[in-house]
Amino acid sequence: MAKTIIDKIWDRHIVVGEPGKPDLLYIDLHLLHEVTSPQAFEGLRLNGRKVRRPDLCFATMDHNVPTVNRKVINDPIARKQIRTLAENCEEFGVPLADVDHPDQGIVHVIGPELGLTQPGKTIVCGDSHTSTHGAFGALAFGIGTSEVEHVLSTQTLWQSRPKTMEIRIDGEIAPGVAAKDIILAIIAKFGTDMGTGHIVEYTGEAIRKLTMEERMTICNMSIEAGARAGLISPDETTVEYLRGRKYVPDGDAFEQAAADWLSLASDEGAEYDKSVSIHSDEIEPFITWGTNPGMGAGINGHVPYASDFENELERDSFLRAIEYMGLEEGQKFTDIEIQHVFIGSCTNARMSDLREAARVIEGKKVRDGVRAMVVPGSRTVKKQAEEEGLDKVFTAAGFEWRESGCSMCLAMNDDVVPAGERCASTSNRNFEGRQGTGARTHLMSPAMAAAAAVTGRFTDVREQFAVHA
Amino acid sequence: MKPINEVTSILTPLDRSNVDTDQIISKEFLKRIERTGFGKYLFHHWRFDADGNKRDGFVLNDSRFDGSEILVARENFGCGSSREHAPWAILDYGFRVVIAPSYADIFYNNCMKNGILPIRLPEEEVEELLAKGKADPVQLAVNLAEQTVTQPDGTVHRFDIDPYWKEMLLNGWDEIALTFKYEDQIAKYEEVTQRA
């Protein structure tokens, strides 16, 4: 029978499958960071347990780390949390790329970069954006700290088989439209809870043409559509991305692995519990205007009117959102001024993201009154960008060029948007207070954020910057 | 974790949909390395203004609901970040039960691991509980074994829950200890799949 990649991977990982119970699934890769792991390690200590397979774990520090003055963490509680991860990794033998390590970076950037992320693997991390790794055809999902402790102890998790869902993108993506626009358009169309209880597979010709980094951007935000995991069947693009990376096999072993990876792709005619589609005509450069990632629209649109919402509850949510965001009904997006630009996060801080932004910004200046920063997703990305001279392009334009980390995506370190100020951000969440108490976040692609940095307001990157000509 | 079966308490009506875990526990409180002590930060920015004063109109600042152990909210509760600090804060504040039409998957699982009972009820039933609960404090009797929520007038709402998680919650079992009973199967799996 034709099977989806989701069922193929699931079936391969069942350790115990008893009727009336969730399956006990084996976990191939467990990524860890400083914020959601300390209580799990403490649990091991309290119960005299050890880490079953430290060789299948990999830890780094990303959420709290400073992006300037790397050595100086002003917040004593954050400092303690970072030190605690180092001590836990030491005590339990878990490999760690700490702040000074050349492999350090955002956990969802370094996993693929190092080749730890591979098709067919089950991958977990105490972070909801673990869905990123699904771009490789891995079954990757975020877990809570109790589950982190469970995986550390047993290398398994009890999981009920989720429903499957196909999101098909029909047609060709137009020039000037980014992967971020695709996923923002999907979430705006289908809502932030469309994927609840499901694992999503993205399909369609448009998906096949995307690079791995673009696929990561899309899978990353699956969780913003409610899906714990979102994935893409592996193909030659996947194989070529992984070839030669640090933790993939080489020689014949690689070719064998690659053949296996390709066999995981969903079979022709495989059925999903639910299928939806979006046409490329519906996708243009997107921005969000509200306080969840589903509140978005094309750049040439405007803030909705209350009268657009027939449902009273939706109208109330809308009014609360625009009040928080400091916007008026019907306001044109291109009339909205910004004070901050953040290019970074596990969604959009890879080489291609930085290149796209640099092409827009090259030879131009950040508008007066706008503070703009670039936070590369990893130390590897930072190094490569500097080799290409991108750092010079950004700093010449007036951007700050930072060290890698999660930074202003969630503002756990010192990179914060002040209350009432507005940020064009390439991150993944525009929730109230996400980038700082009272901060107003608008999500968009790196090119769109760069264009906003130049003009000081939201701008259709296709009109003013002939970047794709 | 603490077992849970019967909870009788007035309900706290949190009349909002898509409540994300960033609102439940804001990032500035995630730096602690303990599981306890998060209750005082629950819904911090909705409860307090920038000067630390209580915001009027937010339900947790309404003394009629002091001591409540049952939180009622709208759909897609607990969306966003996987932070288990969210259920830790809910539990530490004093809630043992959440009632909503739907939950984000990770949050739902996280509740189960901490002895919080997340109940799914149909939207119209939640609507009714919110409306009544906002007008006057309403005492609910929750019974996990029976899978019921009972109003003072005897109206009974039935809910579904996976039998596996029901047993875990009723007994307050340590899931890891249970999984260790399958150690042989795990070792065999590793051997067969050459992960050893």
Alpha-carbon distance A273 to A452, whole Å? 40
Report the residue of chain A nearest B115, measured CA to CA.
A146
pLDDT in tens, B96-138: 999 999 999 999 999 999 999 999 999 999 999 999 999 999 9
Give the pLDDT confidence score for residue B194 in this predicted structure: 81
CB contact (8 A) between residue B32 and residue A432: no
Identify whether the C-beta of residue A353 lies closer than 8 Å to the C-beta of residue A375. no
Task: List the 82-121 stretch of A: residues with Cβ below 8 A of B.
Answer: 84
CA angle B40-B43-B48, nearest 5°?
A: 80
Separation in Å, CA of B93 to nearest CA in chain A:
19
Beta bridge partners of A441: A423
For residue A466, what pLDDT is reported? 60
Residue A462 CB neighbours (<10 A): 21
- Spell out which residues of chain A touch residue B34, defining contact as CB-CB under 8 Å: 39, 42
Nearest to B109 among A16, A26, A147 (CB): A147
Chain B positions touching A443 (Cβ under 8 A) are none
What's the CATH class of domain A285-466?
A: alpha beta
A409 known ligand binder? yes
Q: Do B18 and A192 touch (CB under 8 A)?
A: yes
Q: Do A42 and B33 touch (CB under 8 A)?
A: yes
Cβ within 8 Å of residue A219, ≥6 positions away: A131, A132, A133, A134, A135, A202, A230, A231, A232
Of chain B, the end-to-end C-alpha distance in Å amounts to 32
Interface probe with A: pick from B82, B102, B111, most Cβ of A within 10 Å:
B82
Most B CBs within 10 Å: which of A15, A65, A428, as the mutation test of the B interface? A15
Residue A433 in contact with partner chain B when CB distance is under 8 A:
yes
Do the annotations mark residue A219 as ligand-binding?
no
| pLDDT given at position A275 | 98
Q: Is B177 within the bounds of a domain?
A: yes
3-class SS of residue A195: coil
> In chain A, which among 325-384 make CB contacts under 8 A with chain B?
none
**How far B71 CA sits from the closest chain A CA (Å)?**
19
Distance of residue A144 Cα from the nearest chain B Cα, in angstroms = 5
| Amino acid making up residue B87 | P
Are A341 and A373 in contact, with CB atoms under 8 Å apart?
Answer: yes
Burial of B154 (C-beta count, 10 Å sphere; 0-12/13-18/19+): exposed
- The yes-or-no verdict on residue B62 having pLDDT over 70 is yes
Output the pTM of the full model.
0.97
Q: How many domains does chain B fold into?
A: 1
Residue B48's closest chain A neighbor by CA?
Answer: A437
User: What per-residue confidence (pLDDT) applies to A469?
Assistant: 41
Q: Do domains A5-275 and A285-466 have the same CATH topology?
A: yes
A2 touching B, CB under 8 A? no
- In chain A, what are the domain boundaries? 5-275, 285-466
How far apart CA A78 and CA A90 sit, in angstroms, is 19
Q: What average pLDDT does the structure give for chain B? A: 96
Residues of A in contact with B186 (CB under 8 A): 15, 24, 26, 52, 154-156
Please answer whether residues B133 and B158 qualify as being in contact, where contact means their C-beta atoms are separated by less than 8 angstroms: no
- B1 falls within a domain: no
Task: Compute the 3-state secondary structure of chain A and give helix, strand, coil in percent, each to the nearest 5.
Answer: 40, 15, 45
B176 vs A: CB within 8 A? yes
Q: Is A26 on the interface with B (CB under 8 A)?
A: yes
Measure Cα distances from B101 to A24, A159, A190, B142 in Å: 28, 22, 18, 16
Q: Are A289 and A442 in contact (CB under 8 A)?
A: yes
Residue of chain A whose alpha carbon sits nearest to that of B1: A146
In a domain? residue B175: yes
| Nearest-CB residue to B182 (from A16, A47, A52) | A16
Joined together, the tokens standing for residue A82 give 């970072």
Q: Choose, out of B41, B43, B81, the residue to mutate when testing the contact with A (most A CBs < 10 Å).
A: B81
* A5-275: CATH class: alpha beta
What's residue B5's pLDDT? 97
Mean pLDDT by 10 residues, chain A (469 residues): 97 94 97 97 97 98 93 89 97 97 98 98 98 98 98 97 96 96 98 97 97 98 97 98 97 97 98 97 97 98 97 94 98 98 98 97 97 98 98 98 96 95 98 97 98 97 69
Q: What is the CATH number of the domain that holds B51?
A: 3.20.19.10
Query: pLDDT at position A11, please?
Result: 97
Using a CB-CB distance cutoff of 8 angstroms, which residues of chain A are in contact with residue B31?
35, 64, 75, 77-78, 80-81, 412
Task: Please write the tens of the pLDDT for every residue from B33-49.
Answer: 999 999 999 999 999 99
Residue A243 burial (CB count, 10 A): 13
Integer Cα distance of A95 and A105 in angstroms? 14
Q: Does B83 touch chain A (CB under 8 A)?
A: yes
pLDDT band at B196 (very low <50, low <70, confident <90, very high): low
How far is it, in rounded angstroms, from Cα A39 to Cα A317? 35
Any chain A CB within 8 A of the CB of B87?
A: yes
Is 60 exceeded by the pLDDT of residue B70?
yes
Interface of B with A in 5-34 (CB under 8 A): 16-18, 20, 22-23, 26-28, 30-34
- For B137, the domain range is 6-194
